[in-house]
Chain A
Amino acid sequence: QVQVEESGPGLVKPSETLSLICSVSGGSVSDNSYYWSWIRQPPGKGLEWLGYIHHSGYSNYSPSLKSRVTMSVDTSKNQVSLKLISVTAADTAVYHCAREGGCSRGICYSSSWFDPWGQGTLVTVSS
């Protein structure tokens, strides 16, 4: 069964770049059927979708973060990465990685869902 696990620095200074890695086990990031997404949850707030990347290089980012976010896939390491530039305190959050797909049992749906998710990693932006 596929598992994902996030890793990276827990503290980033304002104006610097947040970089996280999502390690995938039990499956391949090269599976055509899936995208790999990043979702975050600021303290005391709800979930926010940041965007997704496909191993082909196709990506789709949240409009609110599009100018600052980059995602990539490393098929040799079976990993997905997230980079967020020019961070501020508002970027403090638990960052989750998740596999995104929209088909099950031969049926494809009009929107895709996230399964599985990683436990998440807390990133604090502070000097």
Chain B
Amino acid sequence: QSVLTQPPSVSGAPGQRVNISCTGSTSNIGAGYDVHWYRHLPGTAPKLLMYGNINRPSGVPDRFSGSKSGTSASLAITGLQGEDEADYYCQSYDSSLRGDVFGTGTKVTVL
């Protein structure tokens, strides 16, 4: 059972911007634990998209940006492209569970 909540789906036209929220609680994001984001196409290896809330690994385009405030974090994708269609997951640490936790996942659709 995921303790980080994401919208099941978001969509946008090519070139538009979409935002994916990740809502936690005072035992994870709200406690100050950093948030990371992944992109996943079923049948493939999930890919790290953002670490430490706002940092892009090398090779990830600057169309992707992250933010964190209070008990929530957010991933923004600008200039939406067809190749951005995938499932996106946030991830952090939970002090009550004493382990890593994932978000519920968001499917991004390019209209």
Q: Which of A62, A111, A118, A119 contacts B34 (CB 8 A)?
A: A111
State the interface size on chain B (CB cutoff 8 A).
31
Given A104-B52, A113-B48, decide whether A49 and B33 contact each other with a Cβ distance below 8 A: no
Interface residues of A in 70-127 (CB under 8 A from B): 96, 98, 100, 104, 107, 109-120
Contact A115 B48 (CB under 8 A): yes
- B104 surroundings in chain A (CB, below 8 A): 46
Residue on A nearest B57 in the bound complex, by CB:
A115
**Which of A47, A116, A117 lies at the interface centre, i.e. has the most chain B CB atoms within 10 A of its CB?**
A47
- Provide the bound-state CA to CA distance between A39 and B93, in Å: 14
Query: What's the least CB distance linking A79 to chain B, in Å?
Result: 18
Query: What's the least CB distance linking B2 to chain A, in Å?
Result: 6
Instruction: Name A's interface SS.
Output: strand
- A119 surroundings in chain B (CB, below 8 A): 43-45
A-B contact pairs, 30 of them (CB 8 A): A37-B100, A46-B89, A46-B102, A46-B103, A46-B104, A47-B38, A47-B40, A47-B89, A49-B91, A49-B100, A51-B99, A63-B97, A96-B45, A100-B100, A104-B51, A107-B52, A109-B52, A110-B34, A111-B34, A111-B36, A111-B93, A112-B93, A113-B48, A114-B38, A114-B46, A114-B48, A116-B45, A116-B48, A118-B45, A119-B44
Interface residues of A (CB under 8 A from B): 37, 39, 46-49, 51-52, 60-63, 96, 98, 100, 104, 107, 109-120
